[in-house]
Structure 1
Amino acid sequence: MLSIIDKYILKRYLATFALMLLLFIPIGIMINLAEQIGKMIDNEAPLNEILLYYLNFTIYIGNLLFPIFLFLSVIFFTSKLANNTEIVAILSSGVSYGRFLRPYLIGATLVAVIMFFMNMFIVPQASIGFNEFKFKYLKKGKKDRVTSNIFNQLNETDFIYVSSFDPARQIGQNFTFERFDSLNRLKFKIAAANIRWLDKDSTYRLTAYKKRTILGDTAIIESKRRLDTLFAFDIGDLTPVSYVAETKNLYELDKFIEDQRRKGASNINTYILVKYKRWALPLTAFILTVIAVAVSSVKRRGGMGINLAFGILVAFVFIFFDRVFGTLAEQSGFSPLLAVIIPNVMFGLLALYLLQKAKR
């Protein structure tokens, strides 16, 4: 059963966190609108799509900033408790520091559960609309995917390659398709100057088509100026958009990563990093809550301002380490698992140190 103190602190915890979201997300929307309104007008973005974009923006950005908002809100209301000597009164009544911390951990659990379900099911859907609008109207003409030197393994025997791909025109240059047998011997190879998807006929058009079929020691060469044919792959799968992992829910993401690993995707670490960050985000809520309580539960001469300043510094340092290790995982082959674990372990140890210091 929750005591009166538990209910009091938990109510303040959740109310301050909700207030922080309600205050800062509209500010974020206004800042974004002020920056992007010119592009929206120039690219003639419809009003209904703009409204939908900002609904998705609220979910997408709110989820990213959940831990920071949580951290600052705990510092804010706990500092008020400390300045009003309420914490001194609670601890002087015989309540241990660990017992005092319990409602904070209950609040962190509630927020962590919300963050988990949002991350796994709601945010991926919002990410689709958010990113599609961004590249359609706000970053028009900019690449939203890798478009050069694309290699994919379709299955155990089939491999495709294009030197470059134009997603707007759905044309790939210097296309090759290779099929091997169970002994890893080449059965045939198709080469073309370019491959183009014909949406009207649901076929592929190969220009300067050439096929070399291997039959024992004999090679049969077939060539045509142009050939319309079928392949068992979607041309859009040649180059998934850079944010594709963000758009997959809990079950879709695991399957997508397996498919990309089988295909030999060069940016597989980016997708794995997204998966691990989703699982780690709820844990981050606990770590930041403990740090915030430990820092702000002690009454200081500078009052709430000192605590908030320290909190903002810690938040920026956390984001810095998170980005550094994330970039290492995406670009240098560093383990995505370690990229997620290291910042959380570092700040977990900091949380334990600050907690022990606060108890004394």
Structure 2
Amino acid sequence: MKIIDWYILKRYLATFFVMLLMFIPIGIVIDVSEKINKILAKKVPFAEVAGYYGDFTLYFANMLFPIFLFLSVIWFTSKLANNTEIIAILGSGISFMRFLRPYLIGATFISLLALVMGFFFVPKASKGFNDFRYTYLKNNAKIRESDQVYKQVNDTQTIYVGAFNYMNKSGSKFNLETYRGDKLVSKINANTITWNPKDSTYTLYGYNKRIVGDGAVNDVIVRESQKIMKLPFEPDELTPTVYVAETMTLGELNKFIEKEKRRGSSNIDSYLVVKYKKYSIPVSAFILTIIAVAVSSMKRRGGMGVNLAMGIGLAFSYVFFDKVFGTMGEKSSMSPLLAVWIPNVTFGILAIFLLRNARR
């Protein structure tokens, strides 16, 4: 690479990481100010709080990295334009596309970093971040309660739970049905069911088992007030939490989705949206970089303020599109793949249009 490439690339990466280092402490301070009373009231150990804010840093940076990247590119490119450096570069015979090359190299580096973080590190940070919030900060336990879960847990058994609370690992109105082919072999009912993490068993209260015979009179019924037994599923499999897909690495998520498809889970679209976003968000680094350069490479009468105002508007428009179509992919009949990629396609077209105007 030439000197001009290194000059732009170093400023690209330095501005991005400096902006991250500036805004993350601000985010932590705001979060502390909101939660300090609950943390002190519940006497949360310092190690737990420190771990939470370590996870918060990764979670926060990953969630807002497109905005940070976009604003950092607009910031330093606007400075280049205001100092007439871009005019000098283009006046030396370098084409606009050649001028764009170090930006694309920087976007490639950031995309690969975001991809690795999203595949392996952010899921673990997401789990720690959300577990801390729901353990110490949320007063309403129902936020992690699922209603009327019905699914197939293996080739011969299906379960039904009227409601399951993930906080205390307990459910109500539990049914487990076992089939041989199309024939019902046995059915277990319980008023409540509780997970025992020490030995990975369940305690069933109001236990009632019916073994189906050749006729109704030949059925065997067993009743117990309480029974401890192993069952072919884990609490997370029984009623996955809202954010369960966000806490898995890519390999774990792929296996989980395949398993949930076999079981007929109604949350498949939500899990697919999380999976596809692991790929779409890194791609947004290229699109937002091109838009930022196209918008801020011109020297404007209002200076950097105009460019930043336009940049903030476009950045939050991207986030708005991403949230709206992500929700549509989870809750509507729209394909999750299509919903996740619509923002990138839309802003990709905008990037091409702005780039053509900037080249002129």
TM range (shorter): over 0.9
TM-superposed CA distance for 1:225, in Å, is 3.2
What residue in structure 2 maps to residue 7 of structure 1? 6
**Root-mean-square deviation over aligned CA pairs:** 1.6
What residue in structure 2 maps to residue 271 of structure 1? 271
Indicate the SS of the match to 2:219: strand
Q: Distance in 1 between matches of 2:45 and 2:112?
A: 36
Q: Distance in 2 between matches of 1:337 and 1:255?
A: 18
What residue in structure 2 maps to residue 126 of structure 1? 125
Deviates more, 1:281-290 or 1:252-261: 252-261
Q: Distance in 2 between matches of 1:281 and 1:199?
A: 36
Q: Distance in 2 between matches of 1:137 and 1:172?
A: 21
TM-superposed CA distance for 1:59, in Å, is 0.8
Deviates more, 1:48-57 or 1:213-222: 213-222
Asked whether the 8 Å contact 1:198–1:205 carries over to 2, the reply is: yes
> Of residues 203, 207, 210 in structure 2, which corresponds to 1:209?
207
What residue in structure 2 maps to residue 245 of structure 1? 245
**Counterpart mapping for 1:144-159 below 5 A:** 144-159=143-158
What residue in structure 2 maps to residue 185 of structure 1? 183
Asked whether the 8 Å contact 1:195–1:206 carries over to 2, the reply is: yes
What is the TM-score when the length of structure 2 is the normalising length? 0.95
Residues 139 and 221 of structure 1: CA distance in aligned 2, closer, same or farther (over 3 Å): same
Residues 122 and 202 of structure 1: CA distance in aligned 2, closer, same or farther (over 3 Å): closer
CA offsets per residue over residues 265-309 of structure 1, 9 Å max, x none?
Answer: 211211111110011111000000000000000111111100000
What residue in structure 1 maps to residue 36 of structure 2? 37
**Counterpart mapping for 1:302-313 below 5 A:** 302-313=302-313
Q: Distance in 1 between matches of 2:85 and 2:167?
A: 62
**Counterpart mapping for 1:89-238 below 5 A:** 89-182=88-181, 184-199=182-197, 202-217=200-215, 220-226=219-225, 227-238=227-238
TM-superposed CA distance for 1:196, in Å, is 2.6
CA offsets per residue over residues 314-335 of structure 1, 9 Å max, x none?
Answer: 0111111111111112222321
Asked whether the 8 Å contact 1:144–1:241 carries over to 2, the reply is: no
What residue in structure 2 maps to residue 78 of structure 1? 77
Asked whether the 8 Å contact 2:209–2:223 carries over to 1, the reply is: no
Residues 89 and 359 of structure 1: CA distance in aligned 2, closer, same or farther (over 3 Å): same
TM-superposed CA distance for 1:199, in Å, is 4.7
Residues 199 and 29 of structure 1: CA distance in aligned 2, closer, same or farther (over 3 Å): closer
Asked whether the 8 Å contact 2:144–2:167 carries over to 1, the reply is: no
Count of residues in Structure 1 that have an aligned counterpart in Structure 2 = 358
Residues 70 and 169 of structure 1: CA distance in aligned 2, closer, same or farther (over 3 Å): closer
Say whether 1:88 aligns with 2:90. no
Asked whether the 8 Å contact 1:245–1:253 carries over to 2, the reply is: yes
TM-superposed CA distance for 1:167, in Å, is 3.1
What is the TM-score when the length of structure 1 is the normalising length? 0.95
CA offsets per residue over residues 239-261 of structure 1, 9 Å max, x none?
Answer: 22221111111211101111122
Residues 348 and 15 of structure 1: CA distance in aligned 2, closer, same or farther (over 3 Å): same
Q: Distance in 2 between matches of 1:91 and 1:102?
A: 13
What residue in structure 2 maps to residue 321 of structure 1? 321
Unmatched 5+ residue regions in structure 2? none
Asked whether the 8 Å contact 1:210–1:221 carries over to 2, the reply is: no
TM-superposed CA distance for 1:337, in Å, is 0.5
What residue in structure 2 maps to residue 258 of structure 1? 258
Q: Indicate the percent of aligned positions where both proteins have the same amino acid.
A: 54
CA offsets per residue over residues 166-218 of structure 1, 9 Å max, x none?
Answer: 33443221111112223x22222222222233456654333333333334445
What residue in structure 1 maps to residue 47 of structure 2? 48
Q: Distance in 1 between matches of 2:314 and 2:37?
A: 35
Residues 63 and 148 of structure 1: CA distance in aligned 2, closer, same or farther (over 3 Å): same
Residues 102 and 177 of structure 1: CA distance in aligned 2, closer, same or farther (over 3 Å): same
Residues 199 and 111 of structure 1: CA distance in aligned 2, closer, same or farther (over 3 Å): closer
Asked whether the 8 Å contact 1:146–1:242 carries over to 2, the reply is: no
CA offsets per residue over residues 37-85 of structure 1, 9 Å max, x none?
Answer: 1111122111121111111111110111111111000000000111111
